[in-house]
Structure 1
Amino acid sequence: MTSWLDRPLLGFDTETTGTDVTTDRIITVALVYSVAPGRDGETVATWLIDPGVAIPEAAQAVHGISDAHVRAHGLPPAEALDEVAALLARALEQDVPIVAYNGSFDLQILEADLARCGLPTLRERLGREIAPVIDPLVIDRGVDRFRKGKRKLVDLMAHYGVEQDGRLHTADVDVSSTLDVLRALAARHPEIAEMPLDELFRRQGEWHRDWAENFNRFLERQGRTPDAPLAWPL
Structure 2
Amino acid sequence: MTVTPWPDGRLIAFDTETTGTEWEMDRIVAASVVAVGAGREPEVTTWLVNPGVEIPEAATAVHGITTDRARADGQDPVTAIAAIADRLVSLMDGGSPLIVFNARFDLTLLDRECRRYDLPVLPDRLLSRELLPVIDPLVLDKQVQPYRRGSRRLPDLCAHWRVRHDKRHASDADALAAARLAWRIGRTYPRLGAMDLHELHALQVERAAQQATSLQSYLRRTDATAHVEGRWPYVPHTTNSASTDTAEGKQR
Shorter-chain TM range is over 0.9
**Which residue, out of 21, 27, 48, partners 2:23?**
21
> Which residue number in structure 1 is paired with residue 238 of structure 2?
none
| Alignment RMSD | 1.4
> Which residue number in structure 2 is paired with residue 142 of structure 1?
143
**Aligned partner of residue 199 in structure 1, secondary structure:** helix
**Aligned partner of residue 28 in structure 1, secondary structure:** strand
Greater helix content: 1
> Which residue number in structure 1 is paired with residue 231 of structure 2?
231
Query: Where does structure 1 differ by over 4 angstroms across 4 or more consecutive aligned residues?
Result: none
Kindly state the Cα deviation for residue 36 of structure 1 after the two structures are TM-superposed: 3.9
Structure 2 alignment gaps of length 5 or more: 235-252
> Which residue number in structure 1 is paired with residue 97 of structure 2?
97
Q: Give the structure-2-normalised TM-score.
A: 0.88
- Residues 71-124 of structure 1 show CA distances to partners (whole Å, capped at 9, x for unaligned) of 110000110111111121222222211101111111000010111111111122
**Aligned partner of residue 14 in structure 1, secondary structure:** strand
> Which residue number in structure 1 is paired with residue 32 of structure 2?
30
Kindly state the Cα deviation for residue 6 of structure 1 after the two structures are TM-superposed: 1.6
> Which residue number in structure 1 is paired with residue 221 of structure 2?
221
> Which residue number in structure 2 is paired with residue 110 of structure 1?
110
Kindly state the Cα deviation for residue 205 of structure 1 after the two structures are TM-superposed: 0.8
| Equivalent-residue separation in structure 2 for 1:189 and 1:155 (angstroms) | 19
> Which residue number in structure 2 is paired with residue 196 of structure 1?
196
Whether 1:80 aligns to 2:80 is yes
Task: Tell me the amino acid that sits aligned with residue 159 of structure 2.
Answer: A
- Cα contact 1:138–1:204 (8 A) shared by 2: yes
| Equivalent-residue separation in structure 1 for 2:54 and 2:38 (angstroms) | 39
Kindly state the Cα deviation for residue 128 of structure 1 after the two structures are TM-superposed: 2.5
**Aligned partner of residue 29 in structure 1, secondary structure:** strand
Whether 1:210 aligns to 2:214 is no
> Which residue number in structure 2 is paired with residue 64 of structure 1?
64
**Which residue, out of 9, 12, 15, partners 2:14?**
12
| Equivalent-residue separation in structure 1 for 2:170 and 2:95 (angstroms) | 27
> Which residue number in structure 1 is paired with residue 53 of structure 2?
53
> Which residue number in structure 2 is paired with residue 131 of structure 1?
132
| Equivalent-residue separation in structure 1 for 2:170 and 2:76 (angstroms) | 20
Kindly state the Cα deviation for residue 210 of structure 1 after the two structures are TM-superposed: 1.1
**Aligned partner of residue 30 in structure 2, secondary structure:** strand
Task: Tell me the amino acid that sits aligned with residue 165 of structure 2.
Answer: Q
Kindly state the Cα deviation for residue 187 of structure 1 after the two structures are TM-superposed: 2.1
> Which residue number in structure 2 is paired with residue 3 of structure 1?
5
**Aligned partner of residue 163 in structure 1, secondary structure:** coil
Kindly state the Cα deviation for residue 224 of structure 1 after the two structures are TM-superposed: 4.2
> Which residue number in structure 2 is paired with residue 176 of structure 1?
176
Judge which range, 80-89 or 14-23, deviates more: 80-89
**Aligned partner of residue 220 in structure 2, secondary structure:** helix
Q: How many residues align?
A: 231
| Equivalent-residue separation in structure 2 for 1:103 and 1:231 (angstroms) | 10
Judge which range, 224-233 or 153-162, deviates more: 224-233
Percent identity, please: 39
Q: Give the structure-1-normalised TM-score.
A: 0.94
Kindly state the Cα deviation for residue 217 of structure 1 after the two structures are TM-superposed: 0.4
Flag the 1:58–1:224 CA change in 2: closer, same or farther, 3 A.
Answer: farther
Kindly state the Cα deviation for residue 63 of structure 1 after the two structures are TM-superposed: 0.1
**Aligned partner of residue 52 in structure 2, secondary structure:** coil
- Cα contact 2:165–2:174 (8 A) shared by 1: no
Flag the 1:93–1:36 CA change in 2: closer, same or farther, 3 A.
Answer: closer
